[in-house]
């Protein structure tokens, strides 16, 4: 790929455990751009954790806040933005990302997702369920939509630098 100046915010989409935050941070450092994590911004705006938002106000309230926060972040100067796994599923958010940013789907297979989410067991959608089954279900629903991203890069097991290198090569 030909190296191009980054003129739009780069938005990472993909399922929980795909490595959006991990790769996003590294990509931002590589490009000398700021990094923003939408989930952390939502928590800062709400003054509590995502688990607390789900528990106290429900998923719909979380989705509404997520939509507003991402809309605001897309108005910021060019940066790298990692979104939560559900963000790109919202038609309005998706349209805005498509219009204003460059989107990258970090695609991972089920085994890898299952392994990765087990490391951080706080995601509300994965509580008290068979995580493999839930992730498989979400893959079925979401992968056709994530495929609308401008670019798809496979996130694989091993050092993040390997996935990062594929992202950079594909830009
Ligand atoms: C969600 C993914 C989470 C977080 C919330 C809902 C989802 O973000 O936004 O728990 O619907 O896939 P990560 O993808 O960063 O885990």
> What distance in angstroms lies between residue 88's CA and the mean position of ligand 1's atoms?
11
Q: Model pTM?
A: 0.96
Classify residue 48: in a domain, yes or no: yes
What range defines the domain where residue 90 resides?
Answer: 9-170
CATH number, position 38: 3.40.50.300
Classify residue 2: in a domain, yes or no: no
Residue 59 DSSP symbol: H
Please work out whether the CB of residue 23 comes within 6 Å of at least one atom of ligand 1: no
Query: What tokens appear for 50 in the block?
Result: 């995502």
Classify residue 127: in a domain, yes or no: yes
pLDDT tens-digit readout, 9-63 = 999 999 999 999 999 999 999 999 999 999 999 999 999 999 999 999 999 999 9
> What distance in angstroms lies between residue 32's CA and the mean position of ligand 1's atoms?
26
Average pLDDT over the chain reads 95
Q: What is the number of domains present in the chain?
A: 1
Classify residue 126: in a domain, yes or no: yes
Q: Whose CA is nearest to atom 16 of ligand 1?
A: 16
Angle between helices 131-146 and 110-117 (to 10 degrees): 120
> What distance in angstroms lies between residue 169's CA and the mean position of ligand 1's atoms?
27
- Is ipTM over 0.95? yes
Strands 80-82 and 9-13: parallel
């Amino acid at each position: 790929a030909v190296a191009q100046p980054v003129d739009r915010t780069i938005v990472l989409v993909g399922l929980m455990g795909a490595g959006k935050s991990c790769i996003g941070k590294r990509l931002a450092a590589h490009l000398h751009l700021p990094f923003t994590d939408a989930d952390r911004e939502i928590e800062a705006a709400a003054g509590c954790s995502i688990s607390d938002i789900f528990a106290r106000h429900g998923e719909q309230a979380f989705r509404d806040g997520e939509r507003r926060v991402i809309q605001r972040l897309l108005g910021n100067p060019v940066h790298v933005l990692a979104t939560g796994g559900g963000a790109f599923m919202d038609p309005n958010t998706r349209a805005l990302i498509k219009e204003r940013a460059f989107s990258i789907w970090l695609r991972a297979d089920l085994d890898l997702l299952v392994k990765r989410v087990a490391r951080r067991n706080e995601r509300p959608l994965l509580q008290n369920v068979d995580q493999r089954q839930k992730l498989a279900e979400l893959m079925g629903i979401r992968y056709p939509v994530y495929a609308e991203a401008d670019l798809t890069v496979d996130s694989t097991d091993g050092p993040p630098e390997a996935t990062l290198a594929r992202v950079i090569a594909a830009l």
